[in-house]
A and B are shown apart, each in its own frame.
Chain A
Amino acid sequence: MFRTRCLLGVLLTATLCVAAEKPAKHDAAWVDQRVKDWQPTAEEKRFDEIGWAKDIREAQKLAKANNRPVFLFTHDGRMNIGRC
């Protein structure tokens, strides 16, 4: 009986602690968490793992110096910020 009460007490305390730590909706901590949750993940930023040259002329200069082909992608919008 005592053990059951103790267990219930622990569970109740733990529940209250979790409830107390959870930020109230729309307070600053809640806003901070939402901002954090919606930042781009590493998986969403894999585009940044490619070593992009600054512009076409620089790419051609480096291609010649390193005997490598140029890969050029032309596009509308701004691929670097995902607005394209």
Chain B
Amino acid sequence: MRTGPFSEEKVIGLLNKYFIPVYAVNEEYAKEGAQPADEKAEYQRIYRAALDAKRPAGSVHVYLLSPDGKYFDSMHVAKAAEKGNLAELLEKTVADLKVDGGKPVVKATPQSIAPKAKEDSLVLHLTARPLKGGGSWGGVSENWIVLSADEVKKILPADKVEMGTAWEFDKDVAAKLLKPFYPVTENNDLSTNRIDKQELKATVVSMENGVARAKIEGALKMKHTFYPHRADDNVVEATLVGYVDFEPAKQKVRTLRLVTDPATYGGGTFGVALRSTP
């Protein structure tokens, strides 16, 4: 939906002009999910209202409510994703409810934002995109990874640093960085990714004004199923290259960059870029 109807000029315009758009992450609304009880109850009420009306209902659906909160209509995601269907449903709703258009009620803001983190932590942003062949949906996926100050120390050399100093990233911290190195798929439970091989080696190639630059070279072989709860033979295989600029005296990372060259999965190639922020 994100790369389909939600990227179409007409749908964006209709949603902003006539509706109050909202999306709900099912995991957050499950029994153990993070949403408060009354928010979960409202989600359930809407779902049950659709069932009572003998209209489409399910976990991945579009629901429309009238301004007073009553169930109005719904559509399965497969149908909503087909070109033209969602715009048609929105236009029908606007006409039936006689909605006066206007400016967007909620200001549009970036939806992928860096998580709040302690000042001494390292916040990293990852993008994954398909390049050639299959093995990936279209569009771009993102992840945010936060390393604590202790974890940052574990990817830096503990001893004296000089030209040519070489070391390997701590295995657990490296795994934390590498588990999101997969293409745009429907299985996004990182705990199901099984790393069979990982290497992240760094070598100092320059030192200037108390800052060292180390080249990073690595490799990854990771089992990742395309769909959740559905076994397949797909495996991520990637060669990794990047660099880290750090202050040895403070055990602090200034910049970290890591990219794939190349990465393969499911018969296609994909690219991942990891960068420290800001």
Contact = CB atoms under 8 A, between A and B. Distances in A.
Interface residues of A, number: 49
A26 B261 contact: yes
Nearest to A66: B105
Interface in A52-84: 52-60, 62-64, 66-84
A67 B105 contact: no
Given A47-B6, A47-B7, A62-B106, 8 more contacts: A50-B108, A51-B16, A55-B22, A69-B94, A70-B69, A71-B62, A72-B24, A74-B59
B190 to A, nearest CB: 10
A82 B214 CA distance: 31
Interface in B57-76: 59-69, 72
A77 B133 CA distance: 24
B63 A72 contact: yes
A43 interface: yes
Given A49-B12, A51-B104, A60-B42, A69 B26 contact: no
A74 B26 contact: yes
Residue in B47, B68, B90, B93 whose Cβ sees the most chain A Cβ within 10 Å: B68
A21 interface: no
Contacts of B271: 34, 38
Nearest to B100: A67
A84 B186 contact: yes
B139 A44 contact: yes
Interface of A: 26, 28, 31-32, 34-35, 38-40, 43-60, 62-64, 66-84
A55 to B, nearest CB: 6
A48 B143 contact: no
Given A75-B77, A78-B25, A70 B259 contact: no
Contacts of B26: 74-76
Residue in B19, B22, B66, B213 whose Cβ sees the most chain A Cβ within 10 Å: B22
13 contacts: A28-B213, A31-B257, A38-B129, A47-B6, A49-B12, A51-B21, A52-B23, A59-B20, A69-B19, A70-B64, A74-B60, A75-B23, A77-B186
Interface string B24-48: 1111010000010011001100110
B184 interface: yes
A75 B108 CA distance: 20
Nearest to A40: B140
B3 interface: yes
A67 B67 contact: yes
Residue in A26, A32, A75 whose Cβ sees the most chain B Cβ within 10 Å: A75
A74 B110 CA distance: 19
Interface in B253-278: 257-259, 261, 271-273, 275
Contact of B127 (A32, A39, A47): A39
Contacts of B261: 26, 34
A48 B257 CA distance: 25
Contacts of A70: 19-22, 63-65, 67, 69
Given A71-B64, A75-B26, A76-B60, A34 B18 contact: no
